[in-house]
Amino acid sequence: MRFLRRSLVGLFLVAVTVGILAYAGNSVLSAVKARLAQEPVERPARERVFAVNVLAYQSQDIAPVMTAFGEVRAQRTLEVRAQAGGEVVYLHPHFEEGGAVEKGELVLRVDPANAQSALDMARADLAEAEADLRDARRTLDLAHQELAATDEQARLRLRALERQKDLRARGVGTDSAVEEAELTVASANQAVVSRRQSVAQAEASVETANTRLQRARITLAEAERDLADTEVFAAFSGQLSNVSLTEGGLVSANERVADLIDASALEVSFRLSTVQHGHLLDDAGRLRPAPVTAVLDVFGADLVTGGHITRESAAVGEGQVGRLLFARLDVAPGFRPGDFVTVRIEEPVLKGVARLPSSALNAAAEVLVLGEDDRLEAVEVTLLRREGDSVIVRAPGLSGREVVAERSPLLGAGIKVRPIRRGVDAAAQDTPEMVVLTPERRAALIAFVDRNPMMPEDAKARVKAQLEQERVPMKMIERLESRMGG
């Protein structure tokens, strides 16, 4: 009985389970049929609206500034060379690397003993040549006097001959007397010729003495130059560089011992592309003396000086491109020849243009302008210049309208947008980040600046003045700590 009862209970539970499963399956099937029988509900599509940053297009007069990199050079550089060889017996007290000398000061002197001896010999030879010339002139004067006396005697002999001839014609004189007078005249004429030869010889002696005197003077001038070459004077005020000589050393003729650099007359050489160079030409094709600004990065406290373009290279160097230009710098304290600087060149003013972010312009020189109902319009503009992250464009019809500052592939003409206009927050982003230093950190930075031998004194003063402020630019701190290993 027990077995029968348990079997019936199990059978009952199985039947109940099957019934429940059948009911569940029927419910699901009914729900699916009801769902399929319903008509689909179409929801209205909503237009996607993008948020964009916009700014006003403002026409103005802008002077574009192109940026280049150049090297500071000295306009006046002189190679100091010893013109005479020998032992160096004197050097300027500041004859050392970086030593300053003034114009006209004696820089070095080579032992002048041999040159002085040669000069004394040349002076003695000159005195002897002058004495020979005076003696030759006296001899010439005496020869002229003897010639005059001989001419007078010849004239007397000729008159005596004429008297003898006259006496013979009157029958008083004899032929022997006439012949004797003729012989006397011939002898007098021969004496005149001899005296003329003496005069010619005396004149030749004078010319020879003159020639010897000229040679003596030339020798004396050479000896004076040789003696002067033993001393080297500063042609202009400046500083010495590449010094390679000590007092007591030996130098050879024309040996280079140092360089004299005029640090007060500096220029910067920089290279521009051909297109950039064309922006600096006037209507006649000549280079404008455009103003430039040279910036030397010194641990965040930039050294800045002005100048203007003076000339350009006459030819493009082998393997080079563009144009090499030179700009003379104004007073440039802290700059030294060889410094690598950033050069900003101011171009002529462009009228009726606007400055926009470079992200607002596409490859087809088009910008997106906010139109009616906040929908975008594509407008073509004229691209004039590119300056870093900005561009200078001209579009007369856009004055006062709003332009999309940052384009994206999702934006295009006809798309509706939600404009975000720049305000105080954008201006605050352009302000350099300032931080407050702890006393220990401030002291470490100031100590590093004081110990730095490469920083000019005026630059040190400016950096320390900024470090002593309550709030210091973060950019300067990062530069200093990157160099001090912090």
CATH number at residue 401: 2.40.420
401, 371 in Cβ contact below 8 A? no
Tell me which residue of 205, 232, 229 sits closest to 78, measured CA to CA: 232
For the stretch 301-352, pLDDT in tens is 678 889 999 999 888 878 888 899 999 998 877 788 888 899 999 988 888 8
Give the structural domain span for 297.
Answer: 266-346
Is 80 exceeded by the pLDDT of residue 77?
yes
Is residue 244 domain-shared with residue 98, that is, in the same domain? yes
Residue 300's pLDDT band (boundaries 50, 70, 90)?
Answer: low
Is residue 443 domain-shared with residue 391, that is, in the same domain? no
Measure the CA–CA gap between 183 and 269, rounded to whole angstroms: 95
350, 392 in Cβ contact below 8 A? yes
pTM over 0.75: no
Instruction: Give start and end residues of each alpha helix (H) in 360-436.
Output: 424-429
Quote the pLDDT of residue 294.
Answer: 92
Is residue 455 domain-shared with residue 403, that is, in the same domain? no
Is residue 390 domain-shared with residue 372, that is, in the same domain? yes
400 by Cβ neighbours in 10 Å (0-12 / 13-18 / 19+) ranks as exposed
Quote the pLDDT of residue 43.
Answer: 60
Among the residue ranges 98-112, 193-207, 268-282, 296-310, the one predicted with the least confidence is: 296-310
Quote the pLDDT of residue 291.
Answer: 92
For the stretch 133-166, pLDDT in tens is 888 888 888 888 888 888 888 788 788 777 777 7
| Domain boundary residue, one of 346, 362, 384 | 346
Q: Answer whether residue 428 is part of any domain.
A: no
Q: Distances in Å between the alpha carbon of 387 and those of 60, 164, 278, 383, 418?
A: 16, 121, 16, 11, 29
Is residue 99 domain-shared with residue 248, that is, in the same domain? yes
Quote the pLDDT of residue 345.
Answer: 92
Is residue 184 domain-shared with residue 159, that is, in the same domain? yes
Q: Answer whether residue 70 is part of any domain.
A: no
SS3 345: strand
Residue 425's pLDDT band (boundaries 50, 70, 90)?
Answer: very low
Is residue 135 domain-shared with residue 284, that is, in the same domain? no
Is residue 135 domain-shared with residue 207, that is, in the same domain? yes
Residue 293's pLDDT band (boundaries 50, 70, 90)?
Answer: very high
Report residue 419 as tokens. 């404009």
Measure the CA–CA gap between 403 and 371, rounded to whole angstroms: 10
Measure the CA–CA gap between 209 and 139, rounded to whole angstroms: 12
258, 241 in Cβ contact below 8 A? yes
Measure the CA–CA gap between 295 and 72, rounded to whole angstroms: 11
Q: Answer whether residue 355 is part of any domain.
A: yes
357 by Cβ neighbours in 10 Å (0-12 / 13-18 / 19+) ranks as middle
Q: Which amino acid appears at position 398 of this protein?
A: L
For the stretch 91-128, pLDDT in tens is 888 888 888 898 889 989 998 888 889 989 999 999 99
- 436-452: average pLDDT: 80
Is residue 102 domain-shared with residue 122, that is, in the same domain? no
- How does the average pLDDT of the chain come out, rounded? 83
Q: Distances in Å between the alpha carbon of 97 and those of 71, 111, 242, 243, 395?
A: 21, 23, 7, 6, 58
Is residue 205 domain-shared with residue 131, that is, in the same domain? yes
Is residue 372 domain-shared with residue 402, that is, in the same domain? yes
Phi, psi of 419 (to 5 degrees): -70, 140
Tell me which residue of 415, 406, 485, 414 sits closest to 445, measured CA to CA: 485
Percent share of the chain, pLDDT over 70: 93
For the stretch 362-390, pLDDT in tens is 888 889 998 888 888 888 999 988 888 88
How long is the chain? 486
Give the 3-state secondary structure percentages of the chain, helix then strand then coil, rounded to 5: 40, 30, 30
Q: Which amino acid appears at position 46 of this protein?
A: R
Count of structural domains, the chain:
5
